[in-house]
Structure 1
Amino acid sequence: MPKTPAAEVVVPGPDGERAVRVSSPDRVIYEKTDRTPEVTKLMVAQFFARVDDGLMRALRDRPTALERWTAGVRLGMRLATSTTDKDADAFYQKRVPKGAPGYLESIQVTFPSGRTADEICPTEIAVPVWCAHMGTLTFHPWPVRRADVDRPDELRIDLDPQPGTTFADAVRVALVAKELLEELGLKGYPKTSGNRGVHVYVRIEPRWEFVDVRHAAIGFGRELEKRDDGVTTAWWKEERGERIFVDFNQNNRDRTIASAYSLRPVPGAPVSTPMTWDELKDVTDPRDYNLFTVPDRLSDGDPWQSIDDEHYSLEPLLRLFEEQGSVELNYPPDYPKMPGEPPRVQPSKKVAAHWDEQGNRIPD
């Protein structure tokens, strides 16, 4: 059977139209479900072009890693979790891929290890459309702009349902988070994660370093715990129980969340969809927001249209962290040991006599 010729998706560019080539346009990326038709590679590229305004609001001038599902999404397929995971079906691309077009721009970032990389830095919609040609479904932008890649302009509150909890629980907690943000003089913008969770973003002044934003998220999460007993900031899964986890570590350097208007690798091509708070209250099934339904929402404007209108101070949240005693929590395991961090050992396996007050292992 002859190979299907490449297709083109024509999009606006800074100096007129750009035609973006999409190879294997009829490759099935999402299979048909009882709710949605099948989705081809060309349809993914066209989707990104159709949500241009919202997607570029999420990605513009931000270092961005790509989540590439080059063979599509099927039950049982896995995403690589490390560079040594060679048997996975999908992977993260943190460096500019070979063969990138000349209009694609990049910016250098520094990882926690001290290594550096040039990451894609989208400046026009042709870039994410080209990324679809490369098998990208999900974009993972850093919470920084290219003008200063070491000072975030975004606080990300990731409300992650644990086993035994539901999307409805995440929505309930998100509404409590809204009230707390407003009490602190901050404005949050919610979106579905595209799966079971809810994300709330707050634009902040780019004055603080990553560790400060992380501490702000910890302070916020601990205050949420006081207001809703279905919330936890416990890093160790064995301590979380059936509660919504506030994943404070998503505010670390090189930790990213699926952007607004990203597709997720779940049957039915669901989309991480920006909402108004009133809309979020009434959402019962986030799968209703998918590649087929989301573009029409933008005909009435993006619910996050005003997100860049005001950037807020982080000081109210940092004061919360200080009032709570400035107690540090665990970093991800691939990070170097950080000052004040608790021992990196599961609580159920910890022997108190083996650790000093600073959380350092006492040699045998």
Structure 2
Amino acid sequence: MGEAQGKSAAVEIDTGERKVRLSSPDRVVFPERGFTKLDVAQYFVSVGPGILRALRNRPTTLQRYPDGAAGEFFYQKRAPKNHPDWIPTATIAFPSGRTADEMCPTEVAAVIWAAQFNTLTFHPWPVRRDDTDHPDELRIDLDPQPGTDYADAVRAAHELRAVLDEYGLQGWPKTSGGRGIHVFVPIEPRWDFTGVRRAAIACGRELERRMPDAVTTAWWKEERGAKIFVDYNQTARDRTIASAYSVRPRPNAPVSAPLRWDEIDDAVPEDFDIGTMPERFAQVGDVHADMEKHAFGLEALLELARRDEQDHSLGDLPYPPEYPKMPGEPKRVQPSRARHED
């Protein structure tokens, strides 16, 4: 339906690897800024090495906006049957046991091909297509709750950095494209999703102990308060985080911006959008380019998880509602409802 709105002739986008057809290039995607479909595609080309680094060989879900950023959207997990043969796929398994073949970008042209179908945000799995059951990234989502903002997330991120360092890990921070901060830790692909999630919970709990008035791992919103929520369930199978350089569907066309640790205090998330990021990228490049040179182990965090369980009776935490009941998971019921039922 969105394509019918555009009247302009199709153009070809040259990514350096190949040319990709883009129809309706003048169709407005972000009305408040006037950014068009062509602007979005050219933005992705301008940050091509960076977004490809974030997506390369990863099964990727596409968040598509056929009627522009302010319209309805949907997540496309299965690669279309008519996708180009130069875009490989990988079979991923959902918690339900069903499977799907997802696209795995290996060149910038795949990003532009997705943009042709009105994709703004890319959601890569934390795995590579040659091993879809063992994540190679520990992703920590610092999510501001009502009453908190980006500055609160920054304070939590600094303490998180100290926690990671203490447990032999290094993280790379980026803006979420909103008020939050994502910290990605490259890891050895030796643990399954359950193990990586257990490490994320241990990390979140340690951060919560150090900042009890500012950080929470409480799954139920009624228990979080005005704190930064460490969304440990973003490490569960089939849960993904917007990639670096993805465009987010807000009026100012913000992007998820990779940052250096010495930048996060002075950064203003609103400064990073499809109009400004190309110049930054031209000046400093992909500041997370070195992340792929590292791969850390989770042994220390998993030992912390073991001690939490043994010494403090801190076991698993609830999974998202659409998941089947998991072994060792506590009762998955809202606390206020549980009290009412009792």
Query: Do these two structures clear the TM 0.5 threshold for a shared fold by scoring above it?
Result: yes
* CA displacement 1:278-335 (0-9 Å, x = unmatched): 011212x301100011112222221101101110001111111111115110001111
Partner Cα separation in structure 1 for residue 187 and residue 117 of structure 2: 32
- Given candidates 12, 19, 35, the residue that maps to 1:39 is 35
Q: Residues 1-364 of structure 1: matches in 2 within 5 Å?
A: 3-13=7-17, 18-32=18-32, 37-74=33-70, 77=71, 89-228=72-211, 229-283=213-267, 285-299=268-282, 300-325=284-309, 327-351=315-339
Structure 1 residue 353 displacement after superposition: 8.1
Greater mean alpha carbon deviation, residues 315-324 or residues 140-149: 315-324
* CA displacement 1:84-105 (0-9 Å, x = unmatched): xxxxx11000001243222121
Partner Cα separation in structure 2 for residue 233 and residue 181 of structure 1: 17
Runs of 4 or more, structure 1, over 4 Å off, are 351-354
Greater mean alpha carbon deviation, residues 315-324 or residues 256-265: 315-324
CA contact (8 A) 2:6 2:27 kept: no
Partner Cα separation in structure 2 for residue 316 and residue 160 of structure 1: 24
Amino acid at match of 2:195: D
Amino acid at match of 1:290: D
| Aligned partner of residue 100 in structure 2, secondary structure | strand
| Aligned partner of residue 15 in structure 2, secondary structure | strand
Partner Cα separation in structure 2 for residue 327 and residue 182 of structure 1: 24
CA contact (8 A) 1:137 1:265 kept: yes
| TM-score (norm. length: structure 2) | 0.94
Structure with the higher helix share, 1 or 2: 2
Amino acid at match of 1:132: A
CA contact (8 A) 1:260 1:274 kept: yes
Amino acid at match of 1:171: V
| Aligned partner of residue 46 in structure 1, secondary structure | helix
CA contact (8 A) 1:259 1:272 kept: yes
Change in CA separation of 1:352 and 1:342 when aligned onto 2, cut-off 3 Å? farther
* CA displacement 1:40-60 (0-9 Å, x = unmatched): 001111111110111011000
Partner Cα separation in structure 1 for residue 34 and residue 126 of structure 2: 33
Greater mean alpha carbon deviation, residues 153-162 or residues 175-184: 175-184
Identity %: 57
| Aligned partner of residue 140 in structure 1, secondary structure | strand
Partner Cα separation in structure 2 for residue 61 and residue 49 of structure 1: 18
Structure 1 residue 25 displacement after superposition: 0.6
For structure 1, list consecutive stretches of 5 or more residues without a partner in the other structure: 78-88, 355-364
The CA RMSD over aligned residues, in Å, is 1.4
CA contact (8 A) 1:45 1:130 kept: no
Q: How many residue pairs get matched? A: 332
Partner Cα separation in structure 2 for residue 288 and residue 171 of structure 1: 16
Partner Cα separation in structure 2 for residue 102 and residue 328 of structure 1: 42
| Aligned partner of residue 179 in structure 1, secondary structure | helix
CA contact (8 A) 2:186 2:292 kept: yes
* CA displacement 1:251-275 (0-9 Å, x = unmatched): 0110000000000001111000000
Change in CA separation of 1:288 and 1:2 when aligned onto 2, cut-off 3 Å? closer
| TM-score (norm. length: structure 1) | 0.89
Partner Cα separation in structure 1 for residue 69 and residue 275 of structure 2: 17
| Aligned partner of residue 306 in structure 1, secondary structure | helix
Change in CA separation of 1:28 and 1:352 when aligned onto 2, cut-off 3 Å? closer
Structure 1 residue 351 displacement after superposition: 4.4
Structure 1 residue 179 displacement after superposition: 1.1
* CA displacement 1:189-225 (0-9 Å, x = unmatched): 0000001100000000000000000000000000001
Partner Cα separation in structure 2 for residue 3 and residue 295 of structure 1: 27
Partner Cα separation in structure 2 for residue 323 and residue 180 of structure 1: 16
Partner Cα separation in structure 1 for residue 306 and residue 295 of structure 2: 22
